[in-house]
Amino acid sequence: MSAWRACGRCLARSWLLARLDGHLERARARNQSVLALDDQDLIAAVAGKMADAIRRELERFDPRRARELGSRAQLDAICGCDPAYPAGLRELAAPPAVLYVAGGLERFLTLTGDQPVAIVGARRASPYGIDVASRLGHDLSAAGLTVVSGLAVGVDSAAHQGVLGACGRTVAVLPAGAERAYPASRRRLHQAIRATGATVSELPPASGVRKWMFPARNRIIAALSAMTIVVEAGVHSGALVTAR
């Protein structure tokens, strides 16, 4: 049975982000500030001619349906109203209303409650960068630390694989629903992480991927972690955004 510790109001906010995905994509230059707006201001800021229709949909939102979909996807959930919600996320200008968790909520809270370390970096990393990320993941895990990353090709995947090679546990923060691997080529890695650690997302199950979701995901990686290690990142890369 899934652990569902998310209230109706927060579930509605999570649904709204998924519903506005295309609108947020078109406003992506302003996304980080836009995400801090309340529901009505967010709709007004990005939905354009669809605003009234989306408001009506939001009024009809049924949290029971959201819980049913989460249960089908074998996801747990926790919202910002729960005392156990990760403290680091509360410090964000726009904390995730809900975190959906594959792999077990209690496990996730345990893993992220003891000074995790984020490892992020280039997707097109050099062989040296891949080796460094893998070694870091392995050694940090062997030292008893949890490693947080984003499952992306390159440095992220190498870090996760290094942790698993040390028989450790790692957390992957995803830019889509927590139940699905993104990119799809990381499916086996996603399954391995889910079996011993956790995959998480602020978006409800079956959510697709948009460009705005990557910087949004990065803020969660940083906020869950006590420190961030960057391996081979470009000057304007998402990895450096995470570190900052």
Higher pLDDT, 2 or 226: 226
- Closest among 107, 100, 110 to 77, alpha carbons compared: 100
- Res. 124 pLDDT band, cuts 50 70 90: very high
Boundaries of every domain in the chain: 4-243
Digit-coded pLDDT (tens) for 149-181 = 999 999 999 999 999 999 999 999 999 999 999
**How far is 167 from 77, CA to CA, in rounded Å?**
26
Rounded mean pLDDT of 102-112?
Answer: 97
Structure tokens at 110: 């345990």
Structure tokens at 212: 């705005």
**How far is 6 from 81, CA to CA, in rounded Å?**
8
| Contact indicator for 155, 163 with CB cutoff of 8 Å | no
Q: Does domain 4-243 correspond to CATH entry 3.60.15.10?
A: no
Rounded mean pLDDT of 75-82?
Answer: 98
Mutual angle of helices 127-142 and 155-165, in 10-degree steps = 40
Q: Does 29 score more than 50 pLDDT?
A: no
> How high is the pLDDT of residue 194?
98
